[in-house]
Structures are given as structure tokens and as C-alpha cells.
Structure 1
């Protein structure tokens, strides 16, 4: 608690953008987890419904049953919509639809990456400003003491700590979310690639 109090007391105006970055990063992480984690289970449900409808009612019934509100449902519907033009066009249409879904899956990750890069730089700027002020105060004083300089440096480094406290968790979250998005994207691409074979074997 002493370190947190020191950061708040000595952070100055540069603490404001760091706090704003932390709020933005937390909001993005929570929103992405809330949307992406359940998506894996929904993908499995869509695949199950699709296979069941395909086996019992054919491609037309499977197309009608697909949930167009999910990324996987939209990918499969895009492929089935051109099934009369052959398997290769089905695969291409599905892959195109899968690529169009990726930006929505990645929404907010760019801001999270910026937070990991900018927060330490803001903290470093605060440290440099703090060191300048500490040396300036020491040069203008009648008596230079190590305690005076150390106190200024101690407070100045708190800005760097604040930046790192935001950047490190944000970087870890970015890595985890990027991996999750990559796995979901792979599932969409595999579904598009396998669609012609699945329809042919039904």
C-alpha cells in the first residue's frame, strides 16, 4: 500500500493518462473475454446442429437451420449459398467469409497493444521530468545533500513503476486474447475448408 500511495502522491498530471490507459485496457479485456470465451461452446453447438440438419434434411435444411448471428454460422451459410456452383467455390466463399469475421474477433486488441507500449513511455517521461526537477532543486539549494537527491529520484521512479504496472498485465492479456482469437479464426477456416467434403458425404 505504501508504494501505491507514493505513486498516487508523486505521479502528478502524468498519472492521468496512465489511469485512463488502465481503465481502457481493463474494459477491453473484460469485454473480449465476455464475448470470446463463450464463442467456443457456441461453435460446437452450431457444428452439431449443422451436421444433424445436413444428415436429416440435406443442404437446404442445413442452410435454413444455421444460426446467422454467430461467426461460424455465417461462414457455413456463405459456403452453402453457392453450393450449386461446385465445391471449390463453396470453399472460397467460406474462406472469404471467415476472413471477414477476423476484424470483429480482434476488436479492441490494437488499443490493448498500444497501452502496453505507451504506458511505460509515459512513466519514463514522468521519471525524466522528476529527475530534472530533483537536480534543479538541488542545484538551487544552499546545501546539496544525498538525501535530497535520493528523495527526488525515489519519487521520480514511481512514475515508471506506474507505467509498468499497467503495461505488464496488459501485455499478458494481449497475448492470451490474441491466442484465443487465432484459435477461433483457425476453426472458422477449417470449417470453410471442410465444408465441401462434409456436404458431399452427407
Structure 2
């Protein structure tokens, strides 16, 4: 079945379903491109910053600033650019940076959620409208005659919109779950990286401020 035949036989619900499919496809492509850039460089950035933080704190800030276009680099760059902050301020900067970057990573989720919810409903609506149109064209006297052949074909065609709605929703669900898995993994990495960097900073702080009280 060609696209023209699909549109012709799918009924009025095909048009919004086509719009949702294009919207979902665009979001999926954009998110794949985003996550590919994030995951490829992430380990290199993390190791570079942590290794530098252990030996040369100023160098760690330079490396993080160099990678501030990457979510992880920008997250770690936020506290590293502070000038000798109190450990509590350093911790707050880490939390703020993590919240900002993790929120930006969920861009596109609402679009896919909307497509997943609406596509099956629009498909079902198209099928119901098709059934109403097909069954409304027959009378009791036509039952059991050749006149009902067209009605049978009409019912079959009306199911096209439901099938398309389910296909769009299923594909969207698959990629939505994949992006969610990537995001949850980033939460784990951000927490681990933030905790390690904070431990290093607190050790430096207490070495340079030996008379300060311990801050938990």
C-alpha cells in the first residue's frame, strides 16, 4: 500500500496520525544525535577532570571549562569555577548544576509521551468513524446479499487507522524507554562524579583550613 492509498483509505484520522508520526520521528532523530554526542565523550571528560582534580585543582577547572558544551563538563564546571568556596557552597553548586543539566537532558520526553497517548486514540477514532460510515450505508434488506461486500471492505479499511496509530505509539514507546534508560544512567554518573569531586574538595579545604570545623 502506497502513502497515497494509505491516506485515501485511512480516513480523517490519518492526517493527525501523520503529523504525530513526523513529530515523533523528528524528536527521535534529534535525541539519538544528542545522546550519541553525550555518551561518546563522557568517559574521557570524566576521567580527565577527576585525574586533574587529584593532582592540580586549577587544571581541573580548565579542563571542565573546555568541555562546558558537554552536559557532564558543564555540570562539573559550575562548582570548579568558584573561588575557594565553603564546602557547603560547593555542594550546593554541584546540586544546582546537576538539576539544570539533568532537566535539559529530558528535552523531547513530553513530545513522545503525548504521541504515545494520542496515537492509539486517534487510530481508534478513525476506526469508529469508518465503521459508522460503512454500517450507515446498509439497510436491513441488504443483509446477506452482495450489497454488503463493499461494507466488508469498508470495515477492513477503517482498521487501517487503528493499525497506524498502534505502530506510531509502539515505535515511540521503544525509543522513549531507551532515552529514559540513558537518562537514569546519567543520574547515576552525575551522582558518582559529584560525590567524588566533593570528597576531593573537602580534603583540600581541610588541608588549607586546618582550624575550620568539620562540615558534614
Fold similarity call, TM over 0.5: yes
User: Residue 189 of structure 1 aligns with which residue?
Assistant: 191
- Taking CA–CA contacts closer than 8 Å with sequence separation of 6 or more, which of the two structures ends up with the larger relative contact order? 1
User: Residue 169 of structure 1 aligns with which residue?
Assistant: 171
User: Residue 19 of structure 2 aligns with which residue?
Assistant: 20
Alignment of 1:51-130 (within 5 A): 51-56=50-55, 58-66=56-64, 67-82=67-82, 84-130=84-130
Count of residues in Structure 1 that have an aligned counterpart in Structure 2: 199
Name the SS of the counterpart of 2:12 in structure 1.
helix
User: Residue 147 of structure 1 aligns with which residue?
Assistant: 149
Checking the alignment, whether the CA contact within 8 Å between 1:54 and 1:62 is kept in structure 2 is yes
Q: C-alpha separation between the residues in 2 aligned to 1:44 and 1:155?
A: 51
Q: What stretches of structure 1 of length at least 5 have no aligned partner?
A: none
TM-score by length of 1: 0.87
* Cα distance change of structure 1 residues 194 and 91 upon mapping to structure 2, 3 Å threshold: farther
Greater fraction of residues in helix:
1
Q: C-alpha separation between the residues in 2 aligned to 1:132 and 1:63?
A: 67
Q: C-alpha separation between the residues in 2 aligned to 1:15 and 1:78?
A: 48
* Cα distance change of structure 1 residues 198 and 43 upon mapping to structure 2, 3 Å threshold: farther
Deviations 1:133-154 (A, max 9, x none): 1111013x86234534322221
RMSD: 2.3
Q: What stretches of structure 2 of length at least 5 have no aligned partner?
A: 205-216
Q: C-alpha separation between the residues in 2 aligned to 1:148 and 1:122?
A: 24
Deviations 1:82-125 (A, max 9, x none): 46233333222112111101222111111011111111111111
Q: C-alpha separation between the residues in 2 aligned to 1:91 and 1:74?
A: 15
Where in structure 1 do 4 or more consecutive aligned residues deviate above 4 Å?
Answer: none
Q: C-alpha separation between the residues in 2 aligned to 1:33 and 1:167?
A: 18
Q: C-alpha separation between the residues in 2 aligned to 1:201 and 1:48?
A: 19
Checking the alignment, whether the CA contact within 8 Å between 1:6 and 1:158 is kept in structure 2 is no
What's the CA shift for 1:200?
A: 4.8
